[in-house]
Amino acid sequence: MKKFRTREGVFVAEGPKVVEDLMEIIRPKRLITTNEWTINKQTEGIEVDIVTEEELARLSFLQHPQQVLAVFPILSNNQSEDYTKELKGKLTLVLDSVQDPGNLGTIIRIADWFGIETIICSHETADVYNPKVVQATMGSIARVKVIYTDLQNTLKHLSESLPIYGTFLNGDNIYKSNLSNDGVIVMGNEGRGISKEVAKVITNRILIPNYPEGRKCADSLNVAIATAITCAEFRKRV
């Protein structure tokens, strides 16, 4: 699927909420929809195919199709040669091999909620235009820039001017740590956490402690949940 998305320069979004949020920012190339969704919709100049619910179900990636499927052009990030300069004074998320599409989509939605404009991903992170990712963002994909790059080199460069925070099981209690208004927050892989190579560049190791501390519990938090808690704690200090 990814090679076809890349070759054609398009991605698919489904459901009224996701499609309508994206349409505020991006003009779709094609809409495949039931009659119900087209009522009071501005679709002039867009190729529209009216289909039955049964026909939509055969085309949909969803278990329960929702009235409309849209084909959008892949967004161009238009990043400058040194886009890292634009991150100064801001909070940025970095994802080190987050591979589950649902987790990536949820993290993009979390970033949007907390006003984080940019997410930097390793090349091993899930494809942002995977239909499951797009669906999980609930439209936030249109407002958050997602960049794929070599993390180690990028973080080394960023560490010259910004603190690099990383979530670890042996870090400092996030609730007792001094957190800055700007910087980089690194979240690791679902099973392995932050890689050894990336860990070398982390300047501030933080931990979300369980409660009460020392009690036997789950080994770790889901990466999307951990991202939400971490972002909330940073924004609370603003």
Two structure tokens written together for 40: 């009071």
Backbone angles phi, psi at 65, to 5 degrees: -55, 150
Peptide bond into 28 cis (omega under 30): no
pLDDT for position 5:
83
Query: Which of 216, 219, 197, 194 has the alpha carbon at shortest distance from 206?
Result: 194
Whose structure tokens read 């931990």? 207
Residue ranges and CATH numbers for the domains of the chain are 2-73 (3.30.1330.30), 84-236 (3.40.1280.10)
pLDDT for position 215:
82
pTM exceeds 0.85: yes
pLDDT for position 194:
97
pLDDT for position 1:
65
What residues of the chain score a pLDDT lower than 50?
A: none
CB 187 within 8 A of CB 224: no
Two structure tokens written together for 81: 């040669």
